Amino acid sequence: MFDYNYLCTLARGEERLAYLKKCIAEADNEKNIREMLTLRHDYMQESTFYGDKFQMILMFPEFLKLYEENPDVVDPDCALYPFEWMIEDCSKYWQVTREQIDSYIERFREFLKKYGYDMTQYHLRRSGAYEFIETAKEAEYMLDFEKLYEAVKTEDDINAESSRIHRDMYTGQIKVGLDRLNKLLQTHDISEFPNELFADIAYFLAVNGHYEEADYYADMMLRFTDKEEWTACLLRLGRVLFVKTLTDIHRAYDIFCEAAGMYSTAKNPAGKFWFAAAAYRLMYALEKQGVNELHSKLSSDFELYDPDRNYETAKLKEHFYKAADDLAKKFDKRNGNTMFSDILSFEFPDAPESKLELPLHGTVTPERFSIGVLFRNELPAFDEIAKVLTEKLGFDNVSANADESGNSAYIPATDKDGTRLMYGAVCTDAPDISEYHCYYDLPEKTLESIGDYTKMLILISDNVNTDRYEDIRRMTVLADAMNTDGCPVLCNIVGGLLYPAEWLKYVAISEAPPVAVECLDFKTFDSEKVPRTVDVLSLGLSLFGSRELAVISVTREEYSKTIWLLRKLVEALSFSPLPDEGVTMNSGILYDDRGYMRFTWKQRKFSDSDMIFAEPVIYLTKNSEGIAINKISDEDMDKLTPRQHYKSMDMERVRSRSLFPYALEYFKTHDCGMRAGIDVTYTDEDGDEQQTWLHVALEKDGKTGVVENKDKNVTQFIIGDKVEVIPGDVYYFGIFMDDNDIYYADDLYLLLREDNK
């Protein structure tokens, strides 16, 4: 008898599939039609998203027959989604004939019509199925979809619009596709788009010879897709491998080494074809460069795995060509054309002289937030981490599954809302970063000045597409709980910064989210564009799902001014939609005394050690004219102030109240001044209680303050009066080292960091 609670205890994939198969047999034996249908639905869903999709394809015909014989036993949605999965995936398997595919597409049309579903899905799914059968038909069916879609749509559907962009690219309408993408990005954030779209754009740009632009979108695909997801998108990874072989052969080689084992164990024939064809082209290119032997660390799952790491390039080339050619012949026989063989033999053109103008959407890096907890003595066991997750964060279903080396583990958990989470943890000696290199490229200088702390526990949040603030909150709470050795500093792995352990505790207990300036740092590189200048890149914004900011070709004289203005821009950035101002995510506004000034991004190749990627150059836009950020006059700079929005004000208020007690402790023990804004209650002329504010200079007891400024309409308080300061009434504070050196709530960690050195 089927037990849902027991199913939830089983691992995704094979374990659940085996249990569901057993329950299906029991339901069939008992002739329980409802369970016969729902269990088959669950089996196909598990196969589609966590197992071998071919098992879904084998199960679907008997499910459909059973449903059509018993149409009223379950809701039509029980059949709708399996229908969509079937049509989306069946053409990727050469074992499914073209006649069978056409038959299922037609039955899908009849099903949608019968139950009153939106017929746009019929045209869209039919077009998608023919991507692996006949591209001319794919384009034709997409036109049918667009006619209906334009008539019924109420807002842009990202999946539908992505399919239209895909169609534009493979039919050679490159500018149309990029213009469509750019238009969508004015109303949608880039993270909403399916990752695979960028691989498709990259490949079709390369087919048309636009290699620089193709490389840009290949990087977009890689940056948006975790390595854990590579197996599921092997087909698109193959397209990226095609592009990187042409634009960055060293990166292509890295991708091949990391994915060779995934290729060998993959079940999807279309995905295996694309990767094998790309790997063949990579080996051919390496051989042409005189690389006759490879000594790669490949997965033991790879078909030609050699524990001694000796691989002949020619043999690898022959192996992948044979695999790709065999699959191409099978697909071509099924399709009745030479589409797959043409892909294998395609000769890429020379790069055109003209360049495409890429959309100004910037690069968003979905990096995991990670904190390194340092230890002097013994590292905690993974079971202890799991215990902290359970007891400190209240997670359920927590387990710690260490790998063979015992140095790293994946730790799954479920939060109180039922959201499935995955943490990664690595325990290793800090000087040797090889153990956790697979999790993070830890900057070498990160480990400087740590002193006797020679071991590290790295904790990584896996929720890259969910609420960034909540991820950071979880990690700071967990890091604080795991800091049992009392290390005074912890590492922000992404930015390579050292934080006082106490500061992370403050962040963990604060009700408001951390803000960008807490994590902001800057890195400089010798400019590739202008001699004797540097390129400046911000570090830390990616923690918030936002763009890093870059300024190109800054002279030594301009550097300080540029950093100052970059910090102003960070303060001005909007990290959430602000409907009242019509500003979307990652847009910014700076106000001056005559109105406002927007800033925008222009794309440029930007080098960061081993990585090469596109980063935005910052321009301020004023009176429809762009001004390079490092060319802004001192007079204009003095007039710029960060935007003030009610959301950011609320955040400042909550953070200030949370951190006020710790700031007060610093004030009492250091030679400095402290001012605060406080809310006070007074009685108006009608005898009603009202709220107002006072700006006060705190006395060393921290319990009283001298009024320095106040609401001009309130007469009950006089400048110079002493008033009581209650922590819960504080809405901002500032610590004054001197007139030019002021630390507010968002800067407090800087003082604490200096204090801990």
Q: Give residue-wise pLDDT tens across range 675-723.
A: 999 988 877 777 777 788 889 999 988 889 999 988 777 778 888 889 9
- pLDDT at residue 357 tops 90: no
Does pLDDT of 186 surpass 50?
yes
pTM: 0.55
How far apart CA 134 and CA 332 sit, in angstroms, is 10
Q: Is residue 26 over pLDDT 50?
A: yes
Q: How far is CA 736 from the centre of its chain?
A: 38
**Of the candidates 281, 699, 364, which has an alpha carbon nearest to the alpha carbon of residue 546?**
364
Any idea which of 329-338, 404-413, 466-475, 496-505 has the lowest mean pLDDT? 466-475
Residue 66: its pLDDT value, please?
92
Strand (E) or helix (H) holding 614: strand 611-622
Cα 287 to Cα 317: distance, rounded to the nearest angstrom: 9
The Cα 626–Cα 260 span in angstroms is 47
Q: Is the pLDDT of residue 645 over 50?
A: no
pLDDT, residue 345, reads: 92
CB neighbour burial string for 431-451, b if at least 16 within 10 angstroms, e if fewer:
eebebbeebbebbeebbeebe
Mean pLDDT within 331-352: 90
Asked if 536 and 522 touch (Cβ cutoff 8 Å), the reply is yes
Specify the pLDDT at position 275. Answer: 95
Higher model confidence: residue 1 or residue 480? 480
Is the distance from CB of 690 to CB of 715 less than 8 angstroms? Answer: no
Question: Is residue 24 over pLDDT 50?
Answer: yes
What does the pLDDT read at residue 605? 44
Q: Which residue has the tokens 């103008």?
A: 357
- Give dist(CA 162, CA 156) in Å, integer: 10
Size of the chain in residues: 757
Mean pLDDT of 343-361: 71
Q: Residue 452: what pLDDT?
A: 59
pLDDT at site 643? 46
- Categorize the per-residue pLDDT at 642 as very low, low, confident or very high, splitting at 50, 70 and 90: low
pLDDT at 467: 42
Q: How confident is the model at residue 442 (pLDDT cuts 50, 70, 90)?
A: very low
Question: What was the pLDDT predicted at 644?
Answer: 45
- Which own/partner contact pairs does 477-481 have at CB distance under 8 Å and 24+ positions apart? 477/392, 477/393, 477/508, 478/385, 478/388, 478/389, 478/392, 478/393, 478/423, 479/371, 479/373, 479/504, 479/508, 480/504, 480/505, 480/508, 481/388, 481/392
Query: pLDDT tier at 324 (50, 70, 90 boundaries)?
Result: very high
DSSP string, 397-427: S---EE-TTSSEEEEEEE-TT--EEEEEEEE
pLDDT band, residue 503 (cuts 50/70/90) = low
Sign for the CA dihedral angle at 126, 130, 135, 137 comes to negative
- The confidence band for 450, taking pLDDT boundaries of 50, 70 and 90, is low
pLDDT of residue 657: 81
Computed over every residue of the chain, the mean pLDDT equals 76
What's the pLDDT tens digit per position in 384-418? 888 888 887 777 777 777 766 666 676 777 766 66
Is 189 or 383 the better-scoring residue by pLDDT?
383
Q: What is the pLDDT of residue 698?
A: 94
Residue 286 pLDDT more than 70?
yes
Angle of CA points 54, 234, 59, to nearest 5° = 10
SS (H, E, C) 499-533: EEHHHHHHHHHCCCCCCHHHHCEEEEEECCCCCCC
Mean per-residue pLDDT for 198-219? 87
The single residue listed with the structure tokens 């559907």 is: 157
